[in-house]
Each structure stands twice: as C-alpha cells, then as structure tokens.
C-alpha cells in the first residue's frame, strides 16, 4: 500500500510543526513541513498530499483573535484550492490554533460563505489560559474516521481561546458535528465540545493536542501505568491501541490510505 503524504504548515508563529510531523511519521504518513509563504507562492503543491495539517501555536501572537490574521492571509490566495481539497474528500486537521484557523475560514462545522461563521472560539470562561491533561468522550455518531474504535481518550489542552459558541439558532446543528466532549466543563464550551468535524468527516478541528501523546512517556502518569500493568511495550497499554494521540493519527493514516 502506498504511504500517504501529509503537509504540515509552519511559520507566522506556528510552533508545533516538529512534534506534529513526528507523530504523523510514527502513525505511517510521509510528512513534509511547508512554510506558509511557500504554499502561498505555489498553492498547487497541495495536490500532492492527502492530508493538510494546521498545527498548534500562536500565529501572529493571537492578535485580534486567535487564528484570525493568518486565516485572512490564507484565504486571500488559498481559499479556492482549500475548498477544492475538501470537496475532493482529502483530509484536513486543525489542532488548537489550527482549529481556530478553520473556524475563522468558515470550514467548520461546514464550508460556509465568508462573514457567516457558524461557530466562534472565544476566550475560556474565566479568561485564563489552560494547560492541563483532560479526559474526553467520543459520541457514538463520531466513532468513525479520525475517532474509529475510540470511546474515551485523554490528551493535553493548551489554549486561551477554546470555548465553542454556536451562532444563535444553530445550536442543534453544531451539537450534531461535535466529535469530542470534555468529561468536565473545563472552559465553558457549548455542550463541553472539544472538537468538530464536517458532515463528510474529512475535516477535523480539535483543541486538544494529539501530537503531544504519541509515546506513553509523554503522559504525566506513564511510569505508574507501566508499573501497574508490568508491561513495557507501548501497544500493550490502553487496550492495545497505543497512546490516544497516536490512535487518532493512525486512524487519519488509514483514511488517507483509502483516498
């Protein structure tokens, strides 16, 4: 089977591209980092990839709103080819700041006209930056694609603006596209939603960081888990699926392999 290719965007304050590339490569992708300036100069290079990843970070220092400035820059030259990429069924993943970009570009929970955002990502309730590991559940309707065979996961969140708020009157629509829910109300997000997918299931935006849990040693309680299970092999923990972040990226690789 041909190894699927992933393009990971860097530059303008994005700072998780290296960890993201590592996780994708471990999951089975052949990944390539690309500075946003290079992609703006040659948008057609997207045609060479099955997965587009917008990693986490603090693009443009979160000026105006998180992901706002870089999304304006992106839409100026890449709006049409990105819409085509999505329509062709190829995969897009936005992590944290990347999720904020997808929302600003009106790609989640569905592609929509500019200026008609369905959801916003607002400051956390309480106005504080949150950096912690959180347990989450996957609704039955989302246990496919990126979240195939996953019911409960645990990943870190690191954001100041991750509170999902739907546009008035579209609450049911947004709830239907929720792909992850915090077990506890960590930031005031609508219905405790931590991730959204589009109807096709090929575009995913999530506030937690899957690239931050692709090795068990990244988990703060990893040594205790190994000790209690008396098993050192990674894949023998967590019900044989490996770390939760890696499980998501492996599912993405399986999806991309079928394109």
Give the sign of the dihedral formed by CA 142, CA 153, CA 254, CA 17.
Answer: positive
Give the ranges where 42-96 is alpha helix by DSSP (H).
Answer: 68-87
Query: What is the distance between the alpha carbons of residues 58 and 31, in angstroms, rounded to a whole number?
Result: 22
**Whether 28 contacts 229, CB under 8 Å:** no
Selecting among 17, 161, 211, 219, the annotated active-site residue is 211
Order of strands across the sheet that contains 193-197: 30-35, 5-10, 51-54, 91-95, 203-206, 193-197, 178-182, 130-137, 152-159
Selecting among 17, 209, 219, 253, the annotated active-site residue is 209
Catalytic site residue 253? no
Selecting among 96, 161, 219, 253, the annotated active-site residue is 96
**Whether 98 contacts 207, CB under 8 Å:** no
Catalytic site residue 16? no
| DSSP β-bridge partners for residue 153 | 136
**Whether 146 contacts 251, CB under 8 Å:** yes
Catalytic site residue 209? yes
| Catalytic positions | 96, 209, 211
């Amino acid at each position: 089977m041909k190894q699927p290719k992933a393009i990971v965007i860097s530059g303008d304050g994005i700072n998780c591209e290296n960890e993201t590339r590592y996780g994708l490569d471990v999951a089975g992708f052949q990944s390539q980092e690309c500075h946003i300036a290079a992609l703006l100069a040659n948008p057609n290079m997207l045609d060479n990839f099955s997965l587009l990843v917008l990693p986490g970070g603090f693009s443009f220092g979160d000026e105006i709103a998180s992901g706002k400035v870089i999304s304006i820059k992106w839409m100026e030259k890449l709006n049409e080819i990105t819409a085509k990429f999505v329509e062709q069924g190829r995969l897009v993943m936005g992590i944290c700041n990347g999720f904020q970009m997808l929302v600003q570009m009106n790609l989640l929970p569905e592609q929509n006209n500019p200026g008609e955002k369905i959801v916003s990502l607002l400051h956390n309730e309480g106005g504080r930056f949150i950096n912690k590991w959180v347990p989450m559940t996957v609704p039955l309707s989302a246990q496919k694609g990126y979240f195939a065979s996953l019911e409960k996961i645990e990943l870190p969140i690191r954001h100041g603006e991750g509170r999902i708020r739907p546009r008035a009157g579209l609450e049911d629509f947004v709830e239907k596209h929720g792909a992850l829910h915090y077990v506890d109300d960590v930031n005031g997000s609508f219905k405790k939603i931590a991730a959204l997918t589009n109807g096709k299931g090929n575009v995913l935006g999530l506030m937690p960081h899957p690239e931050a849990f692709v090795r068990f040693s990244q988990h703060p309680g990893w040594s205790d888990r190994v000790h209690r299970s008396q098993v050192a092999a990674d894949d023998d923990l967590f019900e044989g699926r490996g770390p939760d972040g890696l499980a998501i990226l492996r599912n993405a690789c399986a999806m991309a392999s079928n394109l």
